Structure 1
Amino acid sequence: MMEEFETKMFLDGKSERTVEVYSNSVKEFFKWFYDSYGNVEYKKLYRENILEYKSYLKNIKKSSHSGNNLCPKSINSKLSALICFNELMEPDNIVVSKRDLIKIQAEIVSPTSITKKEIEEFRQIVLQSEGCAAKRNFAIVTILAYAGLRISECLNLRKADICLESNQLKISAGKGEKARIVIVNSKIVSAVKEYQKTDHMESEWLFHNSRGERLNQTTINRVFKLCCPEGYDITPHTLRHFYAINAVSSGIFTIPEIANQMGHSSIKTTMRYMNPNLEEIRKKVEQL
């Protein structure tokens, strides 16, 4: 059944990452189902089961990372997987829908405390790291910091998607399967060119492993963990946040231009990133 569900998700146009996340979430639901009800044969989804599972997620389930109760966003992600499962596998028996998602008040993104100097320090550490992948990783970090791409968008870049002569990257399948053109600066052009000089692998992917396969996000997360200086909290998403702050504080870009670069369908989403870092806030507070 899970294999059929995954196949239907692919046919429905879901990304590889979405298929993986939704599949794992539905498996988690079935584990809860059999842990709760024993060896009762699963026949179909029931509204009663959905409501009990939602209560379990809200009141009992703990985060494997923090040990705290799940946040509304995590709960909604798991419920969204069940909504998809219901729609694709049992379309004549809809018992869970978007109306079951927990309403979340849009919050301002926490002010970033990472400065450009710290980002540059991190980039240099990545470049000077040992191994043949240093130039590749440096190019990835540079793209994330100075083009504002999501990590999935960066790793999904094909060699045909980049045109260094015109300083352009083509994002073929961004969030929501939206395509866009991103203009990049000379830092990115230089980093990618130097990486390409060392890339002799026949692969369609711009960033790939030693077998020519698309690079896994786990590999990049490991790079960040190993190269991030002590006391810093730099992640792929931190670099995307940094890009937004850096772009708006430059005074050169308009909000709609930044939204287009970052792939936001609404400038309201972009505005959530428009917070100065904590040090800038402290300086302004002292001037009151």
Structure 2
Amino acid sequence: MAKSELLEKVRREIRRRNYSFKTEQAYTQWVVRFVKFHGTVHPLKLTDQDVEQFLNHLANEQNVAAGTQNQALAALVFLYKEVLGKEELTLHHLERAKKPKRLPVVLSSAEASALLKKLDGLALLICELLYGSGLRISECLRLRVQDIDFDMEQIWVRSGKGQKDRVALLPQTCIPKLKEQINKVDTLHKKDLSKGHGRALLPKALARKYQDEQIQLRWQYLFPSKRISKDPRSGLKHRYHISDRFVQRRLKRAAKKAGLNKKITCHTLRHSFATHLLQNGYDIRTVQELLGHKNLKTTMIYTHVINKGGNYIKSPVDIL
């Protein structure tokens, strides 16, 4: 099997499982790096020790972050198990990259308010959803019109992290703005249809079974791009959602205008959502479910943030 054939098979298996395009790009890049590291020898001719050698090289010589090494490991496990048919990799001497124990950056309620006041338009609505619903930026930008349930006051998050669906909060503040945004999407969609466009990218099974669904408003992205582009997988010309860079840039400017000296990203708003829910007395299991965390330990990090903040402990200097 040639290198190009191997990569094509990797892509085919990834797409069959409906993994994201970013995952496809990351996995194929790791496969290429792994093959090049071993002098372009085909992975079938390499041993588990060769896999270990590559991963240990990333940790020891390249000094990559723990998450980067984990992604490389996931890519190689996928390659051997799903593509090459090897059930298990034996990695007894794998040296894990050290993951520093860092607490997430969290805004106070006053800081969150000051930040949002420096935003406007689409960036404001998106950031209100990130802070008000606890969405990841990728989950927010992938929302379709039909994912906003006004009657039940909830947001359907489809194929979130780990390919899981969940229900998120729909903040009351956002409802009028979301209805206005959907009207704008409707107007734009009608213009696209009049020009022979307007088809949405659907999951493969739906696209085959219900071909007319592609042109329905409900499948359009809630935050559409200004340009029509070509999907790298299917070749379909459609209107994708806006880039996360659009939000990050405006958030960075807003933080500067608000005089906030913390390093603020879109994920900071998600961290703040979880922390403020716990501070307001909500059950940690509820917060776990709203965030879509698989493991409760992941959610527990926010209890440490609260405890570090001095909410329960009186400093000795304040008693003097």
Q: Is TM (by shorter chain) over 0.5?
A: yes
Q: Give the Cα separation in 2 of the matches to 1:175 and 1:237.
A: 14
- Residue equivalent to 1:210: 226
Q: Give the Cα separation in 1 of the matches to 2:126 and 2:175.
A: 11
- Look up the SS of the partner of 1:274 in the other structure: helix
Structure 1: which 5+ runs fail to align? 62-68, 128-134
- Residue equivalent to 1:169: 155
Give the fraction of aligned pairs with identical amino acids, expressed as a percent.
23
Alignment deviations for residues 203-224 of structure 1 (CA, whole Å, 9 cap, x no partner): 6111121132123334333333
Equivalent of 1:126 in 119, 122, 130: 119
Q: Is the 8 A contact 1:171 1:182 kept in 2?
A: yes
Q: Give the Cα separation in 1 of the matches to 2:35 and 2:174.
A: 45
Q: Give the Cα separation in 1 of the matches to 2:291 and 2:245.
A: 22
Q: 1:201 to 1:88 in 2, by over 3 A?
A: same
Q: 1:99 to 1:119 in 2, by over 3 A?
A: farther
- Residue equivalent to 2:76: 82
- Look up the SS of the partner of 1:192 in the other structure: helix
Q: Is the 8 A contact 1:113 1:277 kept in 2?
A: no
Larger radius of gyration: 2
CA apart distance, 1:284: 3.0
- The TM-score with structure 1 as length reference comes to 0.80
- Residue equivalent to 1:236: 266
The count of corresponding residues between Structure 1 and Structure 2 is: 267
Alignment deviations for residues 139-198 of structure 1 (CA, whole Å, 9 cap, x no partner): 111111110011221122110110223311011212222112222221222442343454
Alignment deviations for residues 223-257 of structure 1 (CA, whole Å, 9 cap, x no partner): 33343326231112111110011111112x21121
Q: 1:161 to 1:86 in 2, by over 3 A?
A: same
- Residue equivalent to 2:51: 50
Q: Give the Cα separation in 2 of the matches to 1:274 and 1:43.
A: 44
CA apart distance, 1:108: 6.5
- Residue equivalent to 2:21: 16
CA RMSD, aligned part only?
A: 3.0
CA apart distance, 1:279: 8.0
Q: Give the Cα separation in 1 of the matches to 2:240 and 2:157.
A: 18
- The TM-score with structure 2 as length reference comes to 0.72
Structure 2: which 5+ runs fail to align? 1-5, 190-197, 199-219, 228-238
- Look up the SS of the partner of 1:91 in the other structure: coil
Q: Give the Cα separation in 1 of the matches to 2:49 and 2:313.
A: 53
Question: Is 1:222 matched up with 2:244?
Answer: no
- Residue equivalent to 2:188: 201
Q: Give the Cα separation in 2 of the matches to 1:56 and 1:48.
A: 12
Q: Give the Cα separation in 2 of the matches to 1:109 and 1:189.
A: 35
Q: Is the 8 A contact 1:111 1:275 kept in 2?
A: no
Q: Give the Cα separation in 1 of the matches to 2:307 and 2:263.
A: 14
